[in-house]
Amino acid sequence: MKIELRHGAGGADTAGLIDSIFARHFHNAVLDKMEDGAVLPRPAGELVLTTDSFVVQPLEFSGGNIGRLAVCGTVNDLSCMGAVPKYLTAGFILEEGLETDTLERMVASMAATAKEAGVSIVAGDTKVIEGNGGMYINTAGAGIRPQGRCVSAANLCPGDQLILSGTLGEHHAVILSSRMGLQTSLKSDCAPLNAMTEALFSAGVSVHTMRDITRGGLATVACELAKASGCALAIEESALPVSEGVHALCGILGLDPLTMGNEGKLLIAVPQADTAHALATVKAVPYGENAAVIGTVCAGSGVTLQTAIGGRRVLSPLRGEGLPRIC
């Protein structure tokens, strides 16, 4: 069956769609009440809120899909603030012509990813617009930050070490290869990272800053952190983990792994004394096995890369469009 405008009209067709797909897959005690809003217990600690919209093309790609991405993106934003992600809302904008089977696969994937991340999808909305069978998802997320966790882009200090939680560029490479019709064995790294961030806090690591590396890549994130903290970042090219597949694609297409997007990687800044412990902790959790120390925070400003061949390069944020609709 294909989605038609009637599915978004708010009547029986909308209710049918909600019952047959959304309620069935997202099912939990709060959502099942089907009220106009989710009533949630008041948390202890600080409430952290975030929202993100997902418009990736194609909807399904090697290693993930728009549904998994919509959960991971919001969970990871909360996690990077030191929060424990708890609740998500999901808003769907569907284009007429979308196959309900496709929609159901995306929703099932969201449900599975939410379960993996330990979050509940407690409210939602669906609209249908004219179009060509596409779909877009907005997720908002609420998390609770326990007392004493002070994680912020402004917290970088000279002497901090930078840990990258894994290899660069997979998600970007997968989306690009898919659009170009290239056959590769690459998989998107799209993953929820809250287990990784919780492991760091549980291990007693004094985390100063965490950021997930998405559009714009490591170079853009590093420049943002340098600016927010008033510090300089020095990165070692030879320490950067890049998979063979991404390296090969970059060689063919003239891409730079430093400005390619991921959807399951963190840049983490910790005091020097905690570095070895933090690295071992990240490497021991899922999605962290290729983590590496990639650089240092220094006094000054801007981001420099010590290149593998012995040169030095100033890194700038990605400019211009990059690759459109990557997440």
Binding site for another protein (CB under 8 A): 176, 179-181, 223, 226-227, 251, 254, 256, 302-317, 319-321
Q: In the numeric block, which tokens belong to residue 298?
A: 């220094």
Q: Return the number of the residue (179 or 283) whose C-beta is nearest another protein.
A: 179
CB of 251 to another protein, least distance (A): 7
Task: Say whether 268 sits in a helix, a strand or coil.
Answer: strand
CB of 219 to another protein, least distance (A): 10
Concatenated DSSP letters of 4-70:
-GGGGSSSHHHHHHIIIIIIHHH--HHHHT--SS---PPPSSEEEEEEEEE--SSSEETTEEHHHHH
* 100 touches 3 (CB < 8 A): yes
CB of 294 to another protein, least distance (A): 16
Q: Return the number of the residue (14 or 62) whose C-beta is nearest another protein.
A: 62
Q: Return the number of the residue (103 or 222) whose C-beta is nearest another protein.
A: 222
Q: Return the number of the residue (148 or 320) whose C-beta is nearest another protein.
A: 320
Among the listed residues 227, 250, 225, 252, the one whose alpha carbon sits nearest the alpha carbon of residue 237? 250
Distance CA 54, CA 211 (A): 18
* 143 touches 234 (CB < 8 A): no
Q: In the numeric block, which tokens belong to residue 84?
A: 């424990």
CB of 306 to another protein, least distance (A): 8
Q: Return the number of the residue (36 or 321) whose C-beta is nearest another protein.
A: 321
CB of 225 to another protein, least distance (A): 11
Residue identified by tokens 């944020």 is 317
Q: Return the number of the residue (126 or 259) whose C-beta is nearest another protein.
A: 259
CB of 53 to another protein, least distance (A): 22
